[in-house]
Amino acid sequence: MYTRHISHILSQSIPSIDQWIPYFSIDSRDIQKGSLFFALEGAKVSGTNFLKQVAEKGGIAAIVPKSYIGDSYGLHLFFVENVTVALQNLAQEKISKISNAQIIGITGSIGKTTSKEYLFAILQKHFSVFHTPKNYNSQIGMPISLLNAADTHQIYIIEMGMSEKGNMEQLVRIAPPTIAWVTHISHSHFSGFSSLEEIAEEKAKIFSSPQLKTRILHKDILQYPAMQSPGIKTVVCGRDVELLPQELQFQIRYYKELSHNFSLEIAGKHLLNNFLGAVAIAKLLGMSFTDIFESIDAMPIVPHRFEKKSYKGITFIDDSYNANADSTLAALSNVPETIGCKIFVFADMHELGSYTEKAHALVAAKAVQVMDACFCLGEESKVISDLFIAHNKPGYHYTDREILSDALSQYIQPKDVVLVKGANQYKLWELIP
């Protein structure tokens, strides 16, 4: 993107600049030569504090708040009312100029990233595909990833997250999907909502895209009125596209078309719905079952999403990226059997609002049924360790992660299976050798 084009979008004039911007960054540690830096206002630190570092690393320009009165350090500065809005507007402008591309938006309470990676794995051998990296699905992460994407792809797979009302409308404004996939509705980020119906209503705003042609939904979320959109083609996983067990293999029925038998290596059965949605979209884009199944061997293991690891004869299941009641219950239901001990390492679930107590109680009831011992971290998770003790099972509760780690390392033995689950902020994956 030329700086003169940026000047036009931001309604500013900077003379003597006609340079291509090869890279856009929100992190001064991530600057490349010729970069444009967005000096975002953080809760504690302003991005303008890092302009000198940006210039020293070869950045050429920065977008800064209108109130900034400091040194430019040789950077060309664009002054704006709101840096985040400027970032979003530039991303929107870029996407609006891309013609004839499919934009696939994926949202849901759980399963967004895994679904995105499955879809990318299937499509990439047959199309030029961009997908937002990692979990860059926020008001900042999504637009910065789009700005750095090539504008020549046939398909853009975009993960769209939300934490409060209004988030989804903004993401759809930036990148209006032609295909919208809602994976699941649950109590994730519940603190900003009063009911699952409200969450469904906010997620359903992904259907407000003026370019929308098709929706992908799982049958379990059709119960929400917001998921009803008459007149828009809808493919329902579990109805229009189904997974049919065939002894040790599977078949898929897509409407009336039946696939040949195939095998599928996925870490947990609860991830199969993510795979079905990816298959549905691939079929919509004209791929045959043969083409789809050629990609199955490349089906990725997404880090910290039911990722199995082995260490000294111990099986660790790393599902520690984040946690809510539904995802935790699903993980507990898919812990493999072992001749050793099944150990549940769990930290508090966050952003659940009024549902917090009930969510932890549900997890406790399931965990004590299927696990042999638990190591819990955080205030709310004590209800789980208490229930284990009440059932004469080893239940340990900690307020310090390092103390938990030391105790766990002394407890586990070869043949044990250890499920690690909790809110992202605890970084429980660091407990796994």
- Residue 388 CA, distance from chain mean position: 32
Task: Please list the residues that pair with 6 across neighbouring strands.
Answer: none
Q: Is residue 11 within 8 Å of 30, Cβ to Cβ?
A: no
Percent with pLDDT over 90 in the chain: 73
Residues 95, 236, single domain; the answer is yes
**pLDDT for residue 295 is more than 60:** yes
**Lookup: tokens for 201:** 């209503």
**pLDDT for residue 406 is more than 90:** yes
For 257, counting Cβ atoms within 10 Å of its Cβ (0-12 exposed, 13-18 middle, 19+ buried), the class is exposed
Residues 103, 53, single domain; the answer is no
Residues 340, 204, single domain; the answer is no
Distance CA 431, CA 252 (A): 38
pTM strictly above 0.95: no
Q: Which of 4-13, 248-257, 378-387 has the lowest mean pLDDT?
A: 4-13
**pLDDT for residue 432 is more than 70:** yes
Residue 264 has a CB neighbour count (10 Å cut-off) of 14
Summarize the confidence of residues 110-125 as an average pLDDT. 93
In this prediction, residue 303 carries a pLDDT of: 85
Summarize the confidence of residues 42-56 as an average pLDDT. 94
In this prediction, residue 90 carries a pLDDT of: 93
Residues 99, 226, single domain; the answer is yes
Helix (H) or strand (E) holding 377: strand 373-377
Residues 116, 235, single domain; the answer is yes
In this prediction, residue 207 carries a pLDDT of: 96
In this prediction, residue 189 carries a pLDDT of: 63
In the DSSP assignment, the letter for residue 375 is E
Q: Tell me: the pLDDT tens digits for 130-168?
A: 999 988 999 999 999 999 999 999 999 999 998 888 999
Residues 66, 118, single domain; the answer is no
In angstroms, the first-to-last Cα distance of the chain is 44
Residue in 6, 179, 37, 3 with CA at minimum distance from that of residue 104: 179
Residue 334 has a CB neighbour count (10 Å cut-off) of 18
**pLDDT for residue 17 is more than 60:** no
Q: Final residue of a domain: which of 298, 327, 348?
A: 298
In this prediction, residue 264 carries a pLDDT of: 77
CATH number, domain of 33, equals 3.40.1390.10
Q: Tell me: the pLDDT tens digits for 181-218?
A: 999 998 776 667 888 999 999 999 999 999 999 999 99
CATH number, domain of 333, equals 3.90.190.20
**pLDDT for residue 15 is more than 60:** no
Query: How many residues are listed for the chain in this entry?
Result: 433
Residue numbers of the domain that contains 353: 307-431
In this prediction, residue 282 carries a pLDDT of: 97
**pLDDT for residue 245 is more than 70:** yes
In this prediction, residue 1 carries a pLDDT of: 66
Residues 77, 98, single domain; the answer is no
In this prediction, residue 2 carries a pLDDT of: 66
Residues 222, 320, single domain; the answer is no
In this prediction, residue 248 carries a pLDDT of: 67
Q: Final residue of a domain: which of 270, 298, 326?
A: 298
Summarize the confidence of residues 296-309 as an average pLDDT. 82
Angle, alpha carbons 318-324-327 (nearest 5°): 55
CATH number, domain of 150, equals 3.40.1190.10
Q: Is residue 389 within 8 Å of 416, Cβ to Cβ?
A: no
Residues 196, 313, single domain; the answer is no
pLDDT-derived band at 18, boundaries 50, 70, 90: low
In this prediction, residue 164 carries a pLDDT of: 85
**Lookup: tokens for 56:** 């020293």
pLDDT-derived band at 268, boundaries 50, 70, 90: low
Summarize the confidence of residues 118-128 as an average pLDDT. 95
Residue in 80, 87, 84, 44 with CA at minimum distance from that of residue 64: 80
Summarize the confidence of residues 95-123 as an average pLDDT. 93
Residues 334, 403, single domain; the answer is yes
Q: What is the total count of domains within the chain?
A: 3
Q: Final residue of a domain: which of 240, 270, 298?
A: 298
Residues 74, 221, single domain; the answer is no
In this prediction, residue 20 carries a pLDDT of: 81
Answer positive or negative: Cα dihedral of 115, 118, 124, 126. negative
Residues 346, 421, single domain; the answer is yes
Name which residue leads in pLDDT, 194 or 374.
374
